[in-house]
Amino acid sequence: MRIHKLSIVFFICLIASRSMAQTEQKPPGKYRHFAVYAGVGPSYFFNNLTVGQNYVSPFQYAFSARFMWEPRGSFVSLGFETGYYRLYTVNAPQPINAKVINSSIPIQFVVSMKFSHKVYADWSMGQSIQYNKVVATDNPNNFNNHVTSLADFSATVGYRFIQKERISYAAEFKGYLSSAYANGTIALLFIVGYRL
Q: What is the pLDDT of residues 27-43, one digit of tens each?
A: 556 788 999 999 999 99
Identify the CATH number of the domain in which residue 119 sits.
Answer: 2.40.160.20
193 vs 144 pLDDT, higher one: 193
Q: Which residues pair with 170 in a beta bridge?
A: 160, 191
* Cβ 122 vs Cβ 143: under 8 Å: no
SS3 29: coil
Count up the domains in the chain and report the number: 1
Q: Which domain holds residue 86?
A: 2-195
- Confidence at residue 122, expressed as pLDDT on a 0 to 100 scale: 97
Q: Which residues pair with 40 in a beta bridge?
A: 63, 190
CB atoms within 10 A of CB 115: 10
pLDDT in tens, 51-102: 778 889 999 999 999 999 999 888 999 999 999 999 999 887 776 778 889 9
What phi and psi, each to the nearest 5 degrees, are found at residue 140? -70, -15
